[in-house]
Chain A
Amino acid sequence: MAKRESTFLNMTLTLFVVTFVAATVLGFVHDLTKADIALAKQQAQQKAIESVLPAFDTLGDSYKMLPEDSSDSLEFFPAYDASQQLVGVAVKTYTKNGFSGLISIMAGFSPEGTITGFEVLEHKETPGLGSKMNAWFKDESKPSQNIIGKSPATSKFEVKKDGGDVDAITASTITSRAFLEAVVRAYKTYQNAQEQPAISNHATNEGGQS
């Protein structure tokens, strides 16, 4: 098969050349796809924001805030209508306590702090069980599990097993708990954000919010 001798020099040289060529070609492909990868991520994020907030015209500058109980910051995306009124804020939140680790969620809040929508962005929960969370907590026909339109200020965002008001996914208490934890984290950090005058100056807020 090989017509070249397996001398030490030949072997090292071959391996080196092959790796070098491979790495160079990859560098080229990487440069080629860099922009499109970033674009795909951007578009996915835009889509998520649009799906959790009511209709808006422009997105303000996003900002990050550290939640009280964790070391990774949440990203906030305020959205305004044509007359610069705050329509709502989408918050990219997370929990590390999912059944299989990290769950990343985009949650939409109205200026008053009620939930306008959510989209589960990333998760590794069990298919058929925890993975149902994206549909479960939005189910309009089941008010005891639907969190849309509610706020952690007025109802207890914990699973019924823990004394809360929300029905957990059948056989997926851990996922449900983690999901709600992420939403509450977003809400609390959003409240902290609103209390800072610099941030509420991002838009003229007629809805009135302290």
Chain B
Amino acid sequence: MEYIIIIVAAIFVNNIVLNQFLGVCPFLGVSKKISTAVGMTGAVTFVMVIATIVTYLIQQYILNPFGLQFLQTIFFILVIASLVQLVEIILKKVSPSLYQALGVFLPLITTNCAILGVAILTYQKEFNLMQGVVFAIANAIGFGLALVLFAGLREHLDLMNVPKGLKGTPIALIVAGILAMAFMGFSGLV
């Protein structure tokens, strides 16, 4: 079943963070606690799916018919920026505590390369709308998976005896590398 392949590939084989290198900034920045990681994943999922739908429609009905493909970058990023503003407004009303917890990382979702990346990849892979939505959801799950796993690891790292020179970001990156290595074990699955 085609959708299963898209899903498994996006979550495990071509994990958006650990394999495609998209969404690394929030991956390093928000993964210090599992609860914030989960909150961030929710926000990213929402923006990613809607962004993919809207950018797909813009590409199909505005950019392609008028030969304006070169305006793809501008249009796509404007859509994403507006969506993030929307999410901020909604979150402030619906869940002020999560809004506070995410803090400055919320507007940073705009610059989350994962979202723009997934929108562009949907176009490059020539998915139709349904496939695009499935792809977006799967990638968001993959993002969340990487984030939560990493947050768990980092919570442990804080209690470990790390050599002084490697404390903080260096050891986090090295551990991320090992996590990426683990995910490489999924290659060949699909």
Contact = CB atoms under 8 A, between A and B. Distances in A.
Contacts of B70: 26-27, 30
Nearest to A129: B187
A30 B69 CA distance: 10
B125 interface: yes
A168 B8 CA distance: 25
Contact of A22 (B74, B125, B187, B188): B74
Interface in A26-78: 26-27, 30
A100 B74 CA distance: 28
Contacts of A99: 187-188
A29 B150 CA distance: 43
B78 interface: yes
B187 A19 contact: no
Contacts of A30: 70
A174 interface: yes
Interface string B39-66: 0000000000000000000000000000
B14 A23 contact: no
Chain A contact residues, majority secondary structure? helix
Q: For this complex, into which size category does the number of interface residues on chain B fall?
A: under 10
Contacts of B187: 99, 126
B125 A23 contact: no
Contacts of B159: none
A101 B13 CA distance: 12
Interface string A158-175: 000000000000000010
Contacts of A174: 188
Interface in B54-91: 70-71, 74, 78
B188 A23 contact: no
B150 to A, nearest CB: 23
A70 to B, nearest CB: 14
Contacts of B188: 99, 174
Contacts of A100: 14
Contacts of A19: 74, 78
A101 B71 contact: no
A26 B78 CA distance: 16
Given A19-B74, A126-B187, 11 more contacts: A22-B74, A23-B71, A23-B74, A26-B70, A26-B71, A26-B74, A27-B70, A30-B70, A100-B14, A101-B125, A174-B188
Interface of A: 19, 22-23, 26-27, 30, 99-101, 126, 174
Interface of B: 14, 70-71, 74, 78, 125, 187-188
5 contacts: A19-B78, A22-B74, A23-B74, A26-B71, A100-B14
